[in-house]
Structure 1
Amino acid sequence: MCSGNRSGGRDYWEGGGGAGAEGPGPTGTLSPAPLFSPGTYERLAGLIGSIGLLGAGNNVLVLILYYRFQRLRTPTHLFLVSISFSDLLVSLFGVTFTFISCLRNGWAWDTVGCVWDGFSSSLFEKSSSHKCICDAF
């Protein structure tokens, strides 16, 4: 599930109210507590952001070199360009959801966002190395 469910985590209530021993239960909606500390989310955002930028930059460089130099246009290099293009798409579309979620200290998207995260990774041929990590948030 992409709702942030996990075992052993503490929950907190949004919308005010407190859980007293007497009287009605707290008001608001139950939301999962953050999995990591805010500092850890900042470090993860920096790491994921740098991976995304390096991946996008390196793959754009490969595509530019292939386009610019005629002697690189061989069938073998075309295969490598295809891999580079799919990796560029993962760097742009796959990493963005995770990066923004790290900035917001938890999965920031709904179920559709989680499905898109997994689908885009599979679509861009990276399903074995990039999975829907919204379960971890």
Structure 2
Amino acid sequence: MCGPGDRHAERLRGTRRHGRPGGAGHRSGPGHHRYSGFYGTDLEATLRRLGTTSLIVTGCTTSVCVESTIRDAFFRDYLPVLLADCTSEPLGRANHEASLAVIEHNLGWVSDSKSLLAALTPVP
């Protein structure tokens, strides 16, 4: 889950902020988010309150934000389903493919948007 202010989301818009967590130029404090959508957010509390057990995951930077969120979901006993055609990887196709393999073999399911829509379409 990359949101406003996330350095990867900014890079995709062409306004990259320099610095890594803990490195020179890194900004921390209020409003700073980590790679996982679970870290420092109320996402887990919201999902538990709603009785959610499965997550459909999309996002930018498959090998960083998306994979981090899926790992945290798996560690919290959710079933994450990644829609491979609804993610992107500015760090290279090899990183994207490696993350898909790790997720599919260890952390959840990998599918695509067409298959999801077909599964959700009522049968007449």
If the length of structure 2 is used for normalisation, what is the TM-score? 0.26
Higher helix share: 1
Larger Rg: 1
Higher strand share: 2
